[in-house]
Amino acid sequence: MNRIIAILFVFSVSLLNIQCSDDDPVTPLPPPSKPGGEVIGKAQIWTTNTAGTQLLDKLPVVDIYGEPLSSDPELIIDPTEKYQEIEGFGAALTGSSAYLINGLSSGKKSDLLKELFNPNTGIGISYLRMSVGASDFSLQDFTYNDMPAGETDATLDNFSLKEDEKNVIPVFKDILQVYPELRIMGSPWSAPAWMKTNKSLYGGSLKQEWYNTYAHYFVKYIEGYAAHGIKVDAITPQNEPLHQAQYPTMIMEAGEQVEFIKDHLGPLFRSEGIETKIIAYDHNFDKPQYPITVLSDEEAYPYVDGSAFHAYAGDVSAMSQVHNAFPEKGLYFTEISGGEWATDFGDNLKWNIKNIFIGTTRNWSKTALLWNLALDENSGPTNNGCQDCRGVVTIESSGEIIYNEEFYALAHFSKFVRPGASRIASNQISGGIFNVAFQNPDGTIALVILNETTSNRNINVQAGDKYLKINSTANSVSTLVW
């Protein structure tokens, strides 16, 4: 992201509105004849408020009844109506984030990684994105196969992960000690300069003569990480393929991505036994026709597992537009950043919960990933990109760690909605209350409710044959689990 993108973010956020799936139910099950009844269970509740006086606080349990508390429940959850399977929630382990985390003392690093990735004692981040080579948040420009000007390397003999071996790979290994089931998505910001039309890491396009070599570059990356004991679950062929800037970027139009996938990357993955998913697009909501074009190609289609989106322009409903065209393919939300252009804790908390975490999952996303996992107090280190972005945590030069509003927004999902969970049906209710519900692999229900109003609200809930009343406090987000 460059400065212009950051400014556009301010104007685009207002365009992101909650869109509910058309097939969410609104009709309650027939209630038993007798109101009330005995308590049959308990729901645990965690709350963060916009004032910051409650930060993922564990509150007293809510009683669950076997008979209705009201003849007209407002919020109706149907666990039998299942939608997409969740793969995880998290952020990006950029080069800058890895450098900062790796620079901590061993004790502080261990404590931070447990806080971020342990699902029991921490917030249970389960999915990370990474840049394949340098991004605008790396310590320098590089790819895994840089060559002197005028030279090429068709056989990729000079391929090397040496830059990643300094910080990124060691931090991934440390994370896997805390959470071995971590999923990773890799996205390149640029191919090596010698493969490109302008011979530069900045802008330009991939030359057609190097398509096959670049496909082998991905295989070497996946196999190289595997040799370090790190599995790459998915890749996108290009981060933000319609954007170029004075940091590593590369244009890849939809037709070019189709050709690259169907004639080179897909067949090579298949022949080499590479099981890593190929995810198309990886750019803003405003161009859903791009992934639709990729998936509409009959030859590219079998190799593509889904489409990825960012939130710097357009409307989250674009994800449902692609889902409606290709309901059998996955959808992934992969990037949004907070920053110094928006500094109010409460407003940022509400915006992220409403638009990113509730908004994307109600529009079929299997992930919700933020941008930098960690940055310093100067919004860096940067590599010619965004100068005022904010990480999920801030690691100050003193070693102090600040947990930002993005941390708490993420936590309300990552800790309680585990990989393999399914989004389940729940109706939206009026008056500034937003929700989404999931059923975890262990059968537990996780319900996230945002109350963005200035008033407390009692909400009668029906979930199958269970009934409960929730006191949703003003200006807060709550996650209930039962």
Q: How many CB atoms lie within 10 A of CB 27?
A: 8
Known catalytic residues? 240, 335
Residues contacting residue 399 through CB under 8 Å, at least 6 positions apart: 104, 105, 108
Buried/exposed 207-245: b ≥16 CB within 10 Å, e otherwise: beebbbbbbbbbbebbebbeeeebebbbbbbbbbbbbbb
For residue 87, give the DSSP letter.
-
CA atoms of 439 and 64, how far apart (whole Å): 17
Strand order in 374-375's β-sheet? 374-375, 393-395, 401-403
Q: Tell me how many degrees the CA angle 135-137-140 measures, rounded to the nearest 5.
A: 70
CA atoms of 136 and 139, how far apart (whole Å): 9
**What three-state secondary structure class fits 171?**
helix
For 157, counting Cβ atoms within 10 Å of its Cβ (0-12 exposed, 13-18 middle, 19+ buried), the class is exposed
CA atoms of 281 and 283, how far apart (whole Å): 6
Structure tokens at 440: 């975890």
